[in-house]
A = this chain, B = another copy of it.
Amino acid sequence: MSRKAEASFAYQPTREIKQNEPRNQVWGENYPRQYQSFMQTADTTFKSMYLGSGLTDALEENPKLVVLWAGYGFSKDYNQPRGHYYAVEDIHNTLRTGGPTGPGTGPMPSTCWTCKSPDVPRMMNEIGIAEFYSGKWADKGEEINNAIGCADCHNPKTMALSISRPALIEAFESMGKNINEASHQEMRSLVCAQCHVEYYFNKKSPKEGVPYLTFPWKNGTSVEAMEEYYDELEFKDWTHKISKAPMLKTQHPGYELFQTGVHAKRGVSCADCHMPYKTEGGQKFTDHHIKSPLANPANSCQVCHRENQQDLMTDVYERQTKIKQNQAKLEEILVRLHVEAGKAWDLGASEEQMKDILMDIRHAQWRWDFSVASHGGQFHSPVEVSRIVSTAINIGQEGRIKLARLFADLGYNKPIDYPDIATKAKAQAYIGLDMEKLEAEKATFKKELLPKWMKAAEEREASWD
> Which A residues are within 8 Å of any B CB, using their own CB?
262, 265-266, 307, 311, 315, 318-319, 322-323, 325-326, 329, 333, 382-384, 386-387, 389-391, 393-394, 397-398, 400-401, 404-405, 407-409, 413, 415
Contact = CB atoms under 8 A, between A and B. Distances in A.
A387 B325 contact: yes
Q: Which of A266, A326, A398 has the most CB of B within 10 A?
A: A326
A265 B408 contact: no
A325 B391 CA distance: 9
Contact of A326 (B265, B311, B333, B390): B390
Nearest to A387: B322
A326 B394 contact: yes
8 contacts: A322-B383, A386-B386, A386-B390, A390-B390, A393-B393, A393-B397, A397-B398, A397-B401
Nearest to A329: B394
Interface of A, secondary structure class, is helix
A273 to B, nearest CB: 17
Contacts of A383: 318-319, 322-323, 382-383, 386
Q: Which of A315, A389, A407 has the most CB of B within 10 A?
A: A389
Contacts of A382: 382-383, 386
Given A307-B266, A401-B401, A326 B387 contact: yes
A307 B311 CA distance: 24
A326 B262 contact: no
A409 B405 CA distance: 11
Contacts of A405: 404, 408, 413, 415
Contact of A393 (B311, B394, B400, B404): B394
Contacts of A408: 404-405, 407-408, 413
A265 B311 contact: yes
A376 to B, nearest CB: 15
Nearest to A398: B397
Contacts of A318: 383
A98 B69 CA distance: 58
Contact of A400 (B311, B326, B397): B397
B326 A391 contact: yes
Nearest to A332: B394
Contacts of A413: 405, 408-409
Contacts of A400: 397, 401
A314 to B, nearest CB: 9
Nearest to A267: B307
